[in-house]
């Protein structure tokens, strides 16, 4: 496997279900991200993990719960979602250099298409 992989690619769940999205990066990066992509809306940054520590949480509802067990893996745990949470969930990774403000490319996975019924 190369790059950033995400599983599952498609997920349909009811509002009372609990499911998890998985992301794995094979690039040796130290930062990972979850984004939400909805139709006709900009990508929304949900969570950032830098060196395995959560450094950003953009006021995401508590029904989304991230987990970063190591620098290669990132999970998004889902529970009691709403239909408006249906979207493409993208994972990305990058190599961040502490203390430097330089551009570090984000590499995206293919996404998980989530449908909440």
Q: Does 111 bind other proteins (CB under 8 A)?
A: yes
Q: Distance between CA atoms of 4 and 72, rounded to whole angstroms?
A: 9
Q: Does 87 bind other proteins (CB under 8 A)?
A: no
Say if residues 6 and 21 touch (Cβ distance below 8 Å). Answer: yes
Residues paired with residue 33 on neighbouring β-strands, in sequence order: 48, 92
Q: Does 52 bind other proteins (CB under 8 A)?
A: no
Work out how close the CB of 80 gets to other proteins at its nearest, in angstroms, rounded to a whole number.
27
Tokens of 104: 């570090």
Which residues of this chain interact with other proteins, rule CB under 8 A?
A: 4, 40-43, 45, 56, 90, 92, 96, 101, 103, 105-111
């Amino acid at each position: 496997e190369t790059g950033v992989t995400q599983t599952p690619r498609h997920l349909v769940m009811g509002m009372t279900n609990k499911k998890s999205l998985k992301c794995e990066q094979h690039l040796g990066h130290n930062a990972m991200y979850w984004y939400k992509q909805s139709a006709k809306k900009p990508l929304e940054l949900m969570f950032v993990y830098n060196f395995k520590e959560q450094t950003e949480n953009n006021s995401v509802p508590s029904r989304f719960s991230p987990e970063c067990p190591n620098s290669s893996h990132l999970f998004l745990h889902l529970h009691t979602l709403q239909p408006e949470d249906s979207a493409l969930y993208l994972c990305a990774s990058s190599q961040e250099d502490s203390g430097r403000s330089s551009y570090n490319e984000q590499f995206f996975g293919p996404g998980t298409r989530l449908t909440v019924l």
